[in-house]
Amino acid sequence: MFLAAGALLVGTFTFTYLVGQHAVKANRAIAAHRALLQELALVVSSLTEAETGQRGFLITGEDSFLEPYRASVAGLKEHLASLRTLGRAAALSPEEVSRLEELARQQLAVLDQGIETRRGQGPQAAAAFIRTLEGKKLMDEIRALEAAMVEKEQRELDLALRTAHTSVIQRTLAFAGTGVVNLLFLAWTYRRIVRETHHREAVTLEIARQKELMATTLASIGDAVLVTDAEGRVTFANAEAERLTGWTIAEARGQPLPAVFRIINETTRQPAENPVEKVLRLGKVVGLANHTVLISKDGRETPIDDSAAPIREPLGPLYGVVLVFRDFSEHKEAERVIHESEERFRASYEYAAVGIEQLAPDGRLLQVNDALCRMLGYSREELLQRTFMDITDPQDLAAERFLIDQLFAGTIPSYQLEKRYLRQDGSPVWVRVTSSVARIARPYRITMVEDITQRKRAEAALEAARAELARANTELEQTVQQRTSRLTEMVAELQHMSYAITHDMRAPLRAMNAFATVLLEESATGLSQAKVHEYCGRILTGANRLDKLITDALSYTKAVLLELPMQPVNLSTLIRGMLDTYPNLHPDKADIQIEGDLPVVMGNESLLTQCFSNLLGNAVKFVAPGVRPQVRIRASVDNSFTRLSVQDNGVGIPEKAQRRLFGMFQKLDNVYEGTGIGLAIVRKVVERMGGKVGAESEPGKGSCFWVELRRA
Amino acid sequence: MARSAAILVAEDEETDVLLLRIALKKAAVPAELIVARDGQEVVEYLDSGRAPNGSSHPFPGLLLLDLKMPRMGGFEVLEWLGRRAMFKNLPVVIFSSSTHESDIKRAREMGARDYVVKPHDLQNLVGILRELHSKYLTGGGR
């Protein structure tokens, strides 16, 4: 840039110079032309003056007129000489100058002749001579030549003037251009200078600030700093260095280092090697041997550690050495305290009764304590190669993962969870873990692990006991409910029976009472023998009826109340025995057939006997007068039940009456003798044995009663 | 219209019917005893009688109704009567051995005018018949 600007400047200077030269040349030409024109005019005017003087002489004959003549002739000669000189520089050709000289010489000769004539021959001769017009002709010729020359010169002058004008303009433009370029260059240079100045100011400030910062830093740094020059003389010491050495910087400056920095070996008490010398020798950073003691100016001893480093630019010469050291006595104490604290912490960790583990976010076990190792039956080395996923029961993993995610996300500060860890032998151990996150350098999880096996066992036992109790309770309730419902049922049935009995037992009582009364009242008035028989008969009937009712009622009560053992009963044997022993079932009174073999059922023999005596009794009883009862007994098997049917050829039962057939004291009519309890007893005993009863009948065509009993 | 002196008795116990006859005789109440052996016969009797006039049967001035009978019981008869407006003026007196409150209440609700528990002795029965006669079978009865 600077070169380009310089080249531009040189260019413009050269250009301006050339243009100037050109203008000077043009002006010189103009001056020459102008001088030439002047000389030409002077030549003519000199000739004219000479002629005028000559003429005056000619006329007067006085010599005074010859004075100007002679001056003019002298001038003319001068002018002609000048003209010749000038003509060489101008466009005037030498031939024309010579011609003018020739003509002038001739004219002068003519003039001289005129003068000679006047002197010699008198005024007439002179006048005659003038009349010859020789002088006039010559003069005209001179004037013509002069005019031609002037015209030519004038042209040359005009040309020179134009050239000069052009040169002036060119020069002006060149000056202006050069001026502008120079101004621009000046402005650019100015800006450069200003900028550079600012930059230097900033750098200067920054250097000053850095220096100050450095000085402040060194002064306020906790470590002691001593700086020496390349000869090992102290140049700087900060406050801490002053304190430890006992030297002020003012005293120490210029002192050799060993004087200020006196160090000995703590144990041998021998002077230790001067670190600066070592640095100067080796040219690199050196540390101080351990157990070094610094002895201050006033004799104080301070254990120190230090390092010394050369001060040099990279690959440059060594300027000096910087020595950094610190009071090791405090440091040592602090270190001891920290060490002890760490030891205590480690002990608390190691000897804690609960398991403690540190876990990386990926589940790796970073640290475990003895309690945890014992709890899980692993050695520390084995455990540290596991992840928490390895030692957690898979059933508990998902729930805890969720909590861990929240923990590391910072959503929860900690969590507590009861879970199962897996021992080395694979057996689960119930633990309660309390986990939180520590964020030292990078986050990890600290977990306290408490063995809660005993508690869990107790809980499980308690739970089992509770469940057993609940079960027993339920069972008891069921039993109570069953018994209660059975009792309720019994009470209802007995109530029903007592209700029915009040009704049915009163009738015979009423009859006995009434007929006895009639007999008593009317015996006095003479009752016929027939009437007495009838009334007494009715009283007896009533008494028998009552007895039968009481018997049946007791049977029914027995069927309801008695707890009777169930056992397999062979129905064939049972029924055949009944046919042999019951008079009303005897073959001379009824045809009773058993089809095939009857099965063995689960039941109570006594109840079954009651059941079949009633059913078979009914079957042979309810027949039309004069008809021989025919009864068929058969069995059909349906799953676990046996249905035993008793088909008769009796009068049948109206459809309407069939639904209350098995009710208490339900008699179909008064044609057939009976208490109305029989079928109620049948139903009751069958139900007691877990079976069912039923009947199908068509009036006039007989009935079929059936009972379903459980097979043995 | 003077009431008929006929008493329709619905009673299955033959002994009780005989006792009623004896008691009626003793009571010297001038009333004819028509006997139905169960509810079914009551219904058949009343149904075939249609109306008091122009009937071969005497229309009873009182129905003495036992509750517990084969085929059709007293309550069923009451229900049957309740559905027939023409019998609304026939007084029904229950004549039963049952002393149960529920039976008495139910009978009342179903339209029975009185509830008589069958007495143990003849003397009481005579008294009851007299009372029933004066109450329901004489013109001046309520």
Mean pLDDT of A274-301: 79
Give the one of B37, B38, B120 whose C-beta lies nearest to A510's C-beta.
B120
Other CB atoms within 10 Å distance of the CB of residue A677: 28
**A378's tokens:** 């692993």
Unique residue bearing structure tokens 């000096």: A320
Of A652, A359, A356, A673, the residue nearest A544 (C-alpha) = A673
| CA–CA gap between residue B134 and residue B142 (Å, rounded) | 9
Q: Mean pLDDT check: name the lowest of A54-63, A279-288, A349-358, B13-22.
A: A279-288
CA dihedral A95, A99, A102, A104 (to 10 degrees): -130
- Contacts made by residues A620-625, CB under 8 angstroms, sequence distance 24+: A620/A584, A620/A585, A620/A589, A620/A590, A620/A592, A620/A648, A621/A584, A621/A650, A621/A672, A621/A674, A622/A648, A622/A650, A622/A651, A622/A672, A622/A703, A623/A648, A623/A649, A623/A650, A623/A651, A624/A650, A624/A651
Which residues in B lie closer than 8 A to residue A510 (C-beta atoms)?
Answer: 15-16, 19, 97, 118-120
The answer to whether A419 and A395 are in contact (CB under 8 A) is no
| CA–CA gap between residue A145 and residue A133 (Å, rounded) | 18
Q: How far A500 CA sits from the closest chain B CA (Å)?
A: 8
Q: Coil, strand, or helix at residue A276?
A: helix
Q: Mean pLDDT check: name the lowest of A673-677, A687-691, B125-129.
A: A673-677
Phi, psi for A534 (deg, rounded to 5): -65, -50
Quick one: pLDDT band at residue A434, thresholds 50, 70, 90? very high
> Which stretches within A377-452 are classed as H helix?
380-384, 394-409
> pLDDT per residue over B89-120, tens digit each?
899 999 988 888 888 999 999 999 999 988 88
- In this predicted structure, what is the pLDDT of residue B54? 46
Q: What is the largest CA-CA distance in chain B?
A: 41
Of A677, A685, A597, the residue nearest A644 (C-alpha) = A597
Of A337, A308, A341, A310, the residue nearest A323 (C-alpha) = A308
Quick one: pLDDT band at residue A376, thresholds 50, 70, 90? very high
Q: What percent of chain A has pLDDT over 70?
A: 96
Give the one of A511, A515, A670 whose C-beta lies nearest to B12's C-beta.
A670
Quick one: pLDDT band at residue A74, thresholds 50, 70, 90? confident
Describe the strand order of the beta sheet including A355-359 as a list of residue ranges.
Answer: A365-368, A355-359, A442-451, A428-440, A414-422
Mutate to test the interface with A, among B15, B25, B41, B68 (most CBs of A within 10 A): B15
Count of positions (residues) in chain A: 712
Between residues A99 and A221, the one the model is more confident about:
A99
Mutate to test the interface with B, among A499, A512, A513, A525 (most CBs of B within 10 A): A513
Mean pLDDT of A128-133: 78
The answer to whether A582 and A668 are in contact (CB under 8 A) is no
The answer to whether A368 and A355 are in contact (CB under 8 A) is yes
Residues in A 625-664 with any Cβ partner in B closer than 8 A: 654, 656-657
Predicted ipTM > 0.90: no
The answer to whether A652 and A664 are in contact (CB under 8 A) is no
Buried b (16+ CB within 10 A) or exposed e, B48-65: ebeebeeeeeebbbbbbb
Other CB atoms within 10 Å distance of the CB of residue A500: 23
The answer to whether A431 and A455 are in contact (CB under 8 A) is no
Give the one of A513, A654, A656 whose C-beta lies nearest to B121's C-beta.
A513
> pLDDT per residue over A179-222, tens digit each?
888 888 889 889 999 999 999 999 999 999 988 888 788 777 77
Q: Do A514 and B98 touch (CB under 8 A)?
A: no
Q: Do B97 and A499 touch (CB under 8 A)?
A: no
Q: What percent of chain A has pLDDT over 90?
A: 17
| CA–CA gap between residue A21 and residue A701 (Å, rounded) | 172
Contacts of A649 (CB under 8 A, 6+ apart): A623, A627, A629, A630, A631, A702
Mean pLDDT of A430-455: 90
Which residues in A lie closer than 8 A to residue B120 (C-beta atoms)?
Answer: 506, 509-510, 513
Q: Is A499 on the interface with B (CB under 8 A)?
A: yes
Which amino acid is residue A537, in one-letter code? G
Quick one: pLDDT band at residue A664, thresholds 50, 70, 90? low
Which residues in A lie closer than 8 A to residue B15 (C-beta atoms)?
Answer: 507-508, 510-511, 538, 541-542
Which amino acid is residue A257, in one-letter code? L
| CA–CA gap between residue B19 and residue B27 (Å, rounded) | 12
pTM above 0.90, yes or no: no
User: Which among A66-80, A290-304, B33-47 has the top mean pLDDT?
Assistant: B33-47
DSSP designation for B134: I
| CA–CA gap between residue A243 and residue A251 (Å, rounded) | 13
Q: Is B104 on the interface with A (CB under 8 A)?
A: no
Q: Do A503 and B122 touch (CB under 8 A)?
A: no
- In this predicted structure, what is the pLDDT of residue A468? 93
* Mean per-residue pLDDT over chain A, rounded: 84
The answer to whether A703 and A616 are in contact (CB under 8 A) is no
Mean pLDDT of A341-369: 88
Of B59, B125, B117, the residue nearest B93 (C-alpha) = B117
Quick one: pLDDT band at residue B141, thresholds 50, 70, 90? very low
- In this predicted structure, what is the pLDDT of residue A91? 64
| CA–CA gap between residue A356 and residue A181 (Å, rounded) | 86
Mean pLDDT of A4-28: 80
**A319's tokens:** 């300027």
Contacts of A629 (CB under 8 A, 6+ apart): A589, A590, A591, A592, A619, A620, A621, A623, A648, A649, A650
The answer to whether B46 and B10 are in contact (CB under 8 A) is no
| CA–CA gap between residue A670 and residue A668 (Å, rounded) | 7
> pLDDT per residue over A217-270, tens digit each?
877 777 888 888 888 889 888 888 888 899 988 998 988 888 888 888 888 888
DSSP designation for A596: S
CA angle A494, B98, B30 (to 5 degrees): 160
**A147's tokens:** 């005019």
Q: Do A510 and B119 touch (CB under 8 A)?
A: yes
Q: Mean pLDDT check: name the lowest of A190-194, A211-215, A481-485, B138-142.
A: B138-142
CA dihedral A328, A330, A333, A336 (to 10 degrees): -60
DSSP designation for A270: P
Mean pLDDT of A305-311: 76
Total CB pairs under 8 A between chain A and B? 67
The answer to whether B29 and B129 are in contact (CB under 8 A) is yes
According to DSSP, the β-strands at B6-10 and A442-451 are unpaired
Other CB atoms within 10 Å distance of the CB of residue A151: 10
Burial class (CB in 10 A: 0-12, 13-18, 19+), B124: middle
| CA–CA gap between residue A221 and residue A114 (Å, rounded) | 126
CA dihedral A551, A556, A557, A558 (to 10 degrees): 90
| CA–CA gap between residue A700 and residue A648 (Å, rounded) | 11
| Cross-strand bridge partners of residue A437 | A445
| Cross-strand bridge partners of residue A229 | A320
Which amino acid is residue A326, in one-letter code? R
